Structure 1
Amino acid sequence: MNALGRHVLAEVYGCSFEILNDIDRVEEIMVQAALKAGAEVREVVFHKFSPQGVSGVVVISESHLAIHTWPELGYAAVDVFTCGERVNPWDACNYMKEMFEAEHVEAREVTRGIIEPPQRTAVNI
Structure 2
Amino acid sequence: MSTYKAEGTHLLADLSGVAADRLTSCARIEALLRAAADAAGAHILHSHFHAFGPGLGVTGVVLLAESHISIHTWPEQAFAAVDIFMCGAAAPQRALDMVRQALAPTHCRVRSVQRCAVDEAVME
Would the TM-score normalized by the shorter structure come out above 0.5?
Answer: yes
Give the fraction of aligned pairs with identical amino acids, expressed as a percent: 39
**Residue type of the alignment partner of 2:22:** I
Residue 108 of structure 1 corresponds to which residue in structure 2? 111
The amino acid across from 2:71 in the alignment is: I
How many aligned residue pairs are there? 114
2:95 to 84, 92, 116: 92
What is the rounded CA distance, in whole Å, between the counterparts of 1:107 and 1:42 in structure 2? 25
Give the superposition deviation at 1:50: 3.0
Q: Which runs of 5+ in 1 are unaligned?
A: 117-125
Conserved in 2, the CA contact under 8 Å of 1:3 and 1:115? no
Gap regions ≥5 residues in structure 2: 120-124
* Superimposed CA distance per residue, residues 72-97 of structure 1 (whole angstroms, 9 cap, x where no aligned partner): 1110011000012x111111111100
- After TM superposition, the score normalised by the length of structure 1 is 0.85
Structure 1 segments (4+ residues) deviating >3 Å:
none
Matched, 1:26 2:29: yes
Counterpart for residue 70 of structure 1: 74
Q: Is the radius of gyration larger for structure 1 or structure 2? A: 1
TM superposition score normalised by structure 2: 0.86
Distance in structure 2 (CA, Å) of the matches to 1:101 and 1:6: 23
Match of 1:39, SS? coil
